[in-house]
A and B are shown apart, each in its own frame.
Chain A
Amino acid sequence: MADQAHAVPKDGHSGGTRREFLYLMTAAAGAYGVASVAWPFISSMNPSQDVLALSSIEVDISSIQPGEGITVKWRGKPLFIRRRTPEEIKAAESVNIAQLRDPQTDKDRVQKPEWLVLIGVCTHLGCVPQGEKSSEPRGEYGGYYCPCHGSQYDTSGRIRKGPAPLNLAVPPYTFTGDTTVKVG
């Protein structure tokens, strides 16, 4: 009984604050423990080292004719490399970027105006747009047309019409020679 009397401090604050503190600390330590055990499990689901290691390729672009493009696989995704005609370059550069949904100048999207390098994945839900070959539909803006939900991209790969929110992504790449490009 005497012990219980001691447990209530004189300021009338009842119920062991020290015990509450210990509960809290134990719970926090437990939560930290659970999180640190869960981390490796979740992390194991992320791309593994071998998947990351495959992330750069070198492509020979000497055989691509103006107005045509090739599709190669990079990181499991289609990569578009297109050799633009002077008209296509002009069309891409002359756009008033204020009208664009995802405003970007053509200059920001290419290193050499003749070569357009893009990740060929529609930014809506991940389909592969058509238009790499001149025989495929290219949409109203002469670039790419996504068959899934009708997104249309211009000759710079910028979204112009349809449900996609963003321009086609530009991967990191460098020209390692006049006819080779290294992506990744």
Chain B
Amino acid sequence: MSKHFKNPVVRWIDHRLPVFSYLDHEANEYPTPKNLNYWWNFGSLAGFMLITMIATGIFLAMQYTPHVSMAFNSVERIMRDVNFGWLLRYLHMNGASMFFIVVYIHIFRGLYFGSYKAPRELLWQLGVLILLLMMATAFMGYVLPWGQMSFWGATVITNLFSAIPLVGDKIVTLLWGGFAVDNPTLNRFFALHYLMPFVILAVVMLHIIALHRFGSNNPIGIDTKGKQDTIPFHPYYTTKDIFGLGIFLIFYAFWVFYAPNALGDPDNYIPANPLSTPEHIVPEWYFLPFYAILRSIPDKLMGVIAMGASIAILFVLPWLDRSPVRSGTFRPVFKWFFWMLVFDCAILMFVGKNPPDWFWQPFAMHVTPAEEVVAAAGVADADALWPITFAGGTLGIKILLLGQLATLYYFAYFIVVLPLLSIFETPKRLPLSISEPVLKGGGKAAVAHAHSKPMEKA
């Protein structure tokens, strides 16, 4: 098994502890489909962000004080007095947003190219687990600066558990370690926020082990059938990943150096005040779609269940989409529904950002407070308004209704659209191999020749 290394020290170690053989096998010679496009860069970018977050986080923890009377000031001290503290904090704070951008693109890549399908179901589920852990970590990290949004975000989110029948309140008290979000809560959130990234790291390892079992999926979505379809990971994809990383770092650096607070809420620069709730409590952008789903259901418990289900449904996705064709490229109908899902998530984000009783006026390109719509429509109160209403000469849609429609589509995509498409959609003919579209000069011509079944071995 073990490879013959030139360096005698490496050889000595590798004979006893085959780490070099392992790395050589998994990161150097590792056969990778030769047709991966740039959407496949986002996995390694996510890995890069995880390392960045852990590195900046450890150094921030050396300066931070997890106590209600000192947390806010210790963060301000990091910003003003600690050498390069501002840089570490802005890298960490914007890094969270970058991590989610990268991971969301990575997930949509998987959704479009069918990367969740057999034999990669566990790989996909581990990925969903990583997403859940990331969300928990990001939520607890946001509480640490102990600003107004930290405190009230923590209050609202922990209160979600009070919706659980019978034991809900006891669970909330257990989470808080008191009768409100207070010092014990801040302390444990700090401890867990430090722990979670390493749990994520462990699950990422499993994610990679599962990935390397069958190798990467690819834009055509058919299996590699031998050496002619693959290239070694190094230097081909290491180079491509590093090039992508360079582009991504420009994007990341833009936020850190030119708009470090653009993605955050200014209210979090007000110290936490348990006696005064901010006017609008809004989560960070990466939670907005889930927050919108939560608020779309008028019942507290059902809202919480719907929000949980929006993630849980991803766990069973491999069994909802039964179509044997992986890549969306060869699924003419699926494509449309997929892009509608992307659009739908953007709408949910918009809905989550705005108060549910306000009205979106698409033609005026404006979101209008309920009182103004009431005044313009000349009715008694907000109850007398229809969710779709003409006021001030323009059409208005209640944010709540928009959210309900978007929530409906989100779930319909998984529960109705995908299972039905698996039965009724006629996919295009698949090429015989990854090499074929390239060697025969253009995908279209090659596809016309391919009369064999999609999964047939060459």
B182 in contact (CB, < 8 A): yes
* Cβ-closest chain B residue relative to A124: B300
Residues of A within 8 A of B182 (CB): 51, 76
Residues of B within 8 A of A146 (CB): 277
Q: Determine if A126 is an interface residue (Cβ-Cβ < 8 Å).
A: yes
Asked if B268 CB lies within 8 Å of chain A CBs, one says no
Q: Is the CB of A77 within 8 A of B179?
A: yes
Question: Chain B contacts of A149 at CB under 8 A?
Answer: 295, 356
Within 8 Å CB of A120, what residues of B? Answer: 275
The answer to the question of B276 belonging to the interface, with a C-beta cut-off of 8 Å to chain A, is yes
How far is B279's CA from A176's CA once the two chains are assembled, in angstroms? 36
Find the A residue at minimum CB distance from B152: A127
Judge whether B179 and A47 touch: CB under 8 Å: yes
Q: Which of A73, A75, A128, A165 interacts with B300 by CB under 8 Å? A: A165
Q: Mark A115-158, 1 if CB is under 8 A from B, else 0.
A: 00000110011111000000000001000001111100000000
Q: Which of A42-78 contact B (CB under 8 A)?
A: 42, 45-48, 51, 55, 71, 73, 75-78
Residues of A within 8 A of B179 (CB): 47, 51, 55, 75-77
A169 CB to closest chain B CB, in angstroms?
Answer: 10
Q: Does B298 contact A (CB under 8 A)?
A: yes
- The answer, yes or no, to whether A163 is at the interface (CB within 8 Å) is yes
Are A148 and B300 neighbours in the complex by a CB distance under 8 Å?
no
B interface size (C-beta, 8 A): 33
Q: Which residues of B contact A127 (CB under 8 A)?
A: 152, 155-156, 277, 281
Instruction: Select from chain B the residue with minimum beta-carbon distance to A132.
Output: B275
- Does the CB pair A75–B152 fall under 8 Å? no
Q: How far is the CB of B181 from chain A (nearest CB, A)?
A: 8
Shortest C-beta distance, A100 to chain B (Å), equals 17
* Residue numbers in B under 8 Å from A121 (CB-CB): 180
Contact, CB under 8 Å: A48 / B184: yes
Q: Does B308 contact A (CB under 8 A)?
A: no
Q: Which of B184, B277, B300, B357 contacts A150 (CB 8 A)?
A: B357
A148 touches B277 (CB 8 A): yes
Determine how close the nearest CB of chain B comes to the CB of A73; give it in whole angstroms.
7
Q: Which of B46-54, B170-178, B255-263 is the contact stretch?
A: B170-178
Given contacts A47-B179, A51-B184, contact A125 B156 (CB under 8 A): yes
Tell me if B332 is interfacial: C-beta within 8 Å of chain A.
no
A-B contact count (CB 8 A): 77
Contacts of B327 in A (CB 8 A): none
Question: Across the interface, which residues of B come within 8 angstroms of A51, CB to CB?
Answer: 177-179, 182, 184
Interface readout for B248-285 with A: 1 if CB under 8 Å, 0 if not?
00000000000000000000000000111111110000
Once the chains bind, are B298 and A148 in contact (CB under 8 Å)?
A: no
**Which chain B residues lie closer than 8 Å to A73 at the CB level?**
274-275
Cβ contacts under 8 Å, B278 to chain A = 147
Chain A nearest CB from B293 CB (Å) reads 15
B188 at the interface (CB under 8 A from A): yes
Output the least CB separation between A52 and chain B (Å): 9
Q: Which residues of B contact A148 (CB under 8 A)?
A: 156, 277, 280-281
User: Does residue B160 face the partner (Cβ distance < 8 Å to A)?
Assistant: yes
Instruction: Tell me whether A126 and B173 are in contact (CB under 8 A).
Output: no
Q: Is the CB of A163 within 8 A of B174?
A: no
Query: Does the CB pair B174–A42 fall under 8 Å?
Result: yes
Of chain A, the residue at the smallest CB distance from B356 is A149
- How long is the Cα–Cα vector from A53 to B181 in the complex, in angstroms? 17
A71 to B159, CA, bound (A): 21
Taking a contact as CB atoms closer than 8 A, the residue among A47, A78, A140 that contacts B177 in the complex is A47
Shortest Cβ distance from residue B309 to the other chain A in the assembled complex, whole angstroms: 19
Complex: A142 Cα to B71 Cα, angstroms: 38
Residue of A nearest to B158 (CB): A126
Interface flags for A21-61 (1: CB within 8 Å of B; 0: not) read 00000000000000000000010011110010001000000
Of the candidates A77, A140, A150, the one whose C-beta lies within 8 Å of that of B180 is: A77
Q: How far is the CA of A150 from the CA of B158 in the complex (A)?
A: 19
A68 to B431, CA, bound (A): 77
**Chain A hits for B279, CB < 8 A:** 147
Q: Which residues of A contact B152 (CB under 8 A)?
A: 127
Least distance between B78 CB and chain A CB atoms (Å):
26
* Measured CA separation A45–B277 after assembly (Å): 26
Residues on the B chain within 8 Å of A124, using CB: 300
Name the A residues within 8 Å of B176 (CB-CB).
47
Give the docked Cα–Cα distance between A120 and B276 (Å).
10
Q: Which of A45, A78, A126, A147 has the most CB of B within 10 A?
A: A126
A112 to chain B, nearest CB (A): 25
When the two chains form their complex, are residues B174 and A75 in contact, meaning their CB atoms are under 8 A apart?
Answer: no
Hey, what's the 0/1 contact readout for B152-169 against A, CB within 8 Å counting as 1? 100110111010000000
Residue from A42, A47, A55, A125 within 8 A of B173 (CB atoms): A47
A136 to B211, CA, bound (A): 58
Cross-chain contact B178 with A75 (CB below 8 angstroms): yes
Please give the distance in Å from A129's CB to the nearest CB on chain B.
8
Interchain Cβ contacts under 8 Å between A and B, 24 examples:
A45-B175, A47-B179, A48-B184, A51-B179, A51-B182, A55-B179, A71-B275, A76-B179, A76-B180, A76-B181, A76-B182, A77-B179, A77-B274, A78-B274, A120-B275, A125-B159, A126-B162, A127-B155, A127-B156, A127-B281, A128-B274, A140-B381, A148-B277, A148-B281
Q: A47-B184, A75-B178, A148-B280 are in contact. List 7 more A-B contacts (CB 8 A).
A: A47-B173, A125-B155, A127-B156, A146-B277, A147-B277, A150-B357, A165-B300
Which residues of A pack against B, CB within 8 Å? Answer: 42, 45-48, 51, 55, 71, 73, 75-78, 120-121, 124-128, 140, 146-150, 163, 165
Give the 9 A-B CB pairs with smallest separation, nearest first. Answer: A76-B180, A75-B179, A126-B159, A127-B277, A76-B182, A125-B156, A126-B155, A128-B277, A125-B159
